[in-house]
Structure 1
Amino acid sequence: MTTTLTLLIPSDWPQQRRDCHWLLHAGDGRVLSRGCSEPAHWPGIGAADGEARRCDLLLAGRQVAGHVGRLPKNRLTQEVAAAALEEQLLDAPEQLLFAIGPAAADGSCTVGVIARQRLEGLLGVLRELGLEVRSAWPLGLALPPGHGWLLGGELNLALPEHGFVALPVADDWLSGLPASATPLAIALPETPTPDIRRALDLAESTGRLCCGAPDNAPPAPAGPGFLVGPLAPPTRRLALLRPFLPAARLAAGLLLGGLLLAAAQWGWHAWQVRTYRQEIASTFRQIQPQAAMVDPLLQLQRQVDALRRRNGQLADDDFLRLADALSALPAGSIEIQEMQFAGGRLELAARLADDGIERLQAAASQRGLSLQVTENSGSGDQRSTKLLLSRGGTQ
């Protein structure tokens, strides 16, 4: 079963802490298991098959910032987001990466911002652990409006209207909470420290918050998020082809069935040919037991040759037809020492240039003739080669 690991990365991981919360999702989005542990205890780490575990990142805390802006609906790119938020950014746009959330009814959208160096460092650590990161999003963009998660002593809150914030739960932190007509729902996936617990109790007593254990894990939004350009996840060819697999299996089955039928038909025809030939030979011997059987193709060729000669044309085994192959050799590349012609076969002994045999073989093949090298003797300038030219297919 295909599963995906979702890591909720706090802002101090892995410099000050080694553990982080994780969720294991099934292919249909169901949460199979969850926990908080160090990388050695994450599901799939160090798997025996050596295949990289696919994972999604939800980045929490002050490592990501949320901004609200209006972007053209048909141009939701990093460059457009950087230009739209340039006045709100503290660092140069080329040092940052942007994750663009869905647009609201009024056309505005929330944009998550993270330092490129920070994300590249996280990806390098996870790659060394054998993880293939397919998306990275701010946790605030994965939470429903008015909901929050407490991770690593920081409250990650999706604002009721637009945007998200990350507040450290410390002195006078309540002043940073946004005004809301209803208490903000805060999930506590980890046990807070006594100081944080007292701060949360104070906020609950004033009706600002409503804390409890998380009922549902926040799913990562669709898309790569921050992972664009050089950081984009590798495309899995199998994933692109998966919708076509049923049709491909059907086509492969039909092709295999067709090949099997063709092979069976070919075998049947071959058996019929052998049977008919045996019947013809048996019938011929019964009718004329003393007569010699003649190859019909050879007999037909002889009749064609006779008709050619009768009409003043050359037959395939005439001397001039066979000797014509020698004309393809360059002048001076062959020295004929001896030549004999009999029975449609031209035998000659000659000295040839180094590539003479290859040239003569090509010329004979082009004219439908057969060339055989019957003997090679001597060496250097004294090397002599005996050749046999005949009608194509004649040995």
Structure 2
Amino acid sequence: MSILRLYITEHWPLEPECDWALLGADGQPLEQGRSDPRHWPKADSCEVLLAGAQTVWLSVRLPRAPKREQERLVRFALEDQLIQEPDSQHFVISDRQDEQARVIVVARERMRNLAAQLEALHRVPHFLGSELEYAPQREDGWTLTLTRTHALLAGAGPCPIPFDIEDPAQPPSLLATLLEQARESNRLPARLVLCRAEDLAASDLDAWTQVLGLPVEDESPYVWHSFAATTNLLQGEFVPDQRRGALLRRMRPALLLAGGVLAIELVVSLGQVVWQRQQVADAQAKMRSVFTSTLPNQPMVNPAAQLRRQVNEQRRQHGQLPDDDVLSLLTEYGEAAGGDARESLNEIRYEEGRVDLTPSPAMQPRMEALVERLRQRGMSVNTAADGKLALRRETLQ
């Protein structure tokens, strides 16, 4: 699979030409050059490296927190280090150790512009990185990477520092200032190593040494496209649709399994509903049959209430108490109250199948539980604001 790597500076696309390199499946360059998008070679995928000061790489203290809280904590931690408003910046954590983290920051507007331009060119990248993360570094000194338009200084801080330059053949004034500060704080490096872009002429090392006041050495040329992709800035709102589609393809078996389980659950639920409806219909048919055979000359309005009324009438004729008699209702109350029933009532009134009870003050703290037990026994219970209860036998519809 071939990869087209683009070296995008801060002047692109106003200056449409940029450096590019076409890499083969083994990661080795097949072609490289500098041209506008019309002459970029075809490739299977595209990667972009943001050059120079388009990004900054900052070191911050970042407490451990759930992922959904990370962005808010990063904004808070970087607020004092940013010139622009944190909401206008895109943050990506590159690495962290315990509570110390390094964060790459780039303007959201720049990311949106790049995404729109590259999509219009049909060169949607699957990786977008910061040149700062791949700047050459040496443990025994500072390393200055020189290009036509900017420089990267590594070793002077926890992260490389990007800055613009006018003449790559001359020592930058900012570098001289940083060295002077290091000299005053007794942190002067042992040497300065220069890494020049391939298209830059060799520097006069003796002149650099004389101006800067420390040994300056030249190293192999800086090859911008020879990096192993690590921190991808295409995260959050900037994840390309192609990557979202790839994620969905990887998740497809799990989604199909979940969909199958949901479909089975839906079928089972529908089956239960149909079965329950049939049970209700059978019960209603049985009730109609019983009602018609028991009360042949009466219209069926409320079968349960009518049958109960007929049963109570038969009980009275045979010397038995109906279920809505005051003694039957008080029996239900006594069984629900249990051991608390004794001396629990101050007043009892009965009228047409309803008994009104006035509980004693000692019973008030247990009224809620008592009402619940009465309802579980099939009683209809109404409570008044003054604590009185109205009980009647509930008629099922």
TM-score (norm: length of structure 1): 0.50
TM-score (norm: length of structure 2): 0.49
Which has a greater percent of strand?
Answer: 1
